[in-house]
Amino acid sequence: MSRRVFQLHVRGVSLIELMVAMALGLLVSAGIVSVFLSTSASSRAQRQLAQVQEEGRYAIGRIVDDLRMANAQYCTSTGGVASRGSSGLYLDGLRAPVIYAKNLQAALGAGDLTTRWGAVSGSNTYPAPPSAPYSLPSFFSMRGYDCGATTCTPVNPPASMLPSMGTSVEHRVIGSSVLTLRYVDASRGWALGANSYIVSDPAGTVRSIHLAPAAGEPPLTDFAAGDLAMLSDCSGAQVFAVNGSSDLVPDPSLNFTAPVARSSLTAAKLFDFNSDFVTVTYFLKVVANDDGTTTGALIRKDRTGSQEMVRGVERLDFLYGVEDGDGNTRYLSAAEVDSNAGSTIPCPPSLPLPLERDPGCLWRAVKTIEVHVLMAAERALHTLAPSEQKYAYQLDGMAAPASPDAPGRRVTPSAQGFANPKVRREFIALVSVRNYNP
């Protein structure tokens, strides 16, 4: 019996075929990875842009809310006796509270300003401490500082009240401007006329003010001994120091003279000047991210302290639209407002009781404010193409978007300590000061 042997022939791939297959596979994989990386980078850039747009709108909106209230004085923000300027136009005179209190600066919390009694600000020397009743000076109403890469004009804000500029955390962002403004919070205070009323003496001065808070009005505990009261109606206001709680008595030792009890008051209201006369300062501060990098944050500083509003803000600038004594309107820098553009711009009609020549008079003639904010993503995105890093900032004077370190920029992100590869966008708002006076 014969035996048959069956032989199976199994044939595999050759080395050349294997190498060709691997090469084709690598090419396909590389294409897939390239598409994935491109899509992923584009998606991250779009997310950064969306973040910048959202936070930029919030930042500009938050600033605008306060700017619209600048110089508000309850219902006495406009009007006054009109006078004729050299242009022939009749302009309403300035209105400002008459100050009887001796300790105004302590009540204002004005330590964040350099407009102290007798202080030098650029070309201005402010008046010495007054010794008689006077109108609230224009330079106490609003104050701006334009800051470049190394210094600010007309002067640097005092480092004791605001951080100095630098690239380290907690410093003020290099090249970011500062603005301080004030207004009366009309939602507070006590209405006079019913259970709350003024008691006057035969000489026509205020002897006391009796307060019986109605529903929705602040408690009497808001007043402390030595606090300043602001008695205001729709034709004027006066500020004086008081003692007491339910019956507020002007303190002779803290006032120049006794405040006047006017016979007719329209919509009279009493405010606690120490808390209801709001002082707000905006500036940018360097803050740390959790990855060790830094970014800029918009800070709103008031009596209660400093609050971080939003991160990613790298530039902040203001231009001030001023109506002068001839009725002309022009946009000026902070230094030009403070100095009347080198004493070339006439002051608006004067206050009733001005101090000396009313230095800084144009701060009460600011009619509009143009706000410029440069928003950036908080963290660097190194996959951004050079074209995606370009941005325009109007005050840099460039005709088209340019790279972060382009020559001609007033200040660059790298000089501020920030990374270049970020999405950046400028936000601009033109704000009408609704309490413009005159």
pLDDT score at 80:
61
Q: Would you call 323 helix, strand, or coil by DSSP? A: strand
The per-residue pLDDT for 298 is 97
Can you say how many angstroms the Cα of residue 140 is from the centroid of all Cα atoms in its chain? 15
Res 389: pLDDT: 92
**Residue 15: strand, helix, or coil:** helix
> In the 8-state DSSP scheme, what is residue 302?
E
Q: Tens-digit pLDDT profile for the chain (438 aa)?
A: 555 555 555 566 677 777 877 888 788 777 777 665 666 656 777 788 888 999 999 999 999 999 998 888 888 766 666 666 666 666 666 778 999 999 888 777 655 667 788 888 888 888 999 999 999 888 888 889 999 989 999 999 887 788 999 999 999 999 999 999 999 998 899 999 888 999 999 888 999 999 998 888 988 877 877 889 999 988 889 999 998 767 899 999 999 999 998 767 778 899 999 889 999 999 999 999 988 899 999 999 988 889 999 999 999 999 999 988 888 889 999 999 999 888 898 888 777 888 888 888 888 889 899 999 999 998 888 888 898 899 999 999 988 999 999 999 999 999 999 999 999 999 999 999 877 665
Backbone angles phi, psi at 59, to 5 degrees: -60, -50
Number of C-beta neighbours around residue 429 at 10 A: 16
pLDDT of res. 416: 96
Q: Position of tokens 């109606």?
A: 233
C-alpha span between 339 and 149 (Å, rounded):
22
For residues 374 and 412, is the Cβ–Cβ distance under 8 A? Answer: no
* Residue 116, pLDDT score: 81
The reported pLDDT for the residue numbered 258 is 93
Cβ contacts of residue 219 below 8 Å, gap of 6+?
213
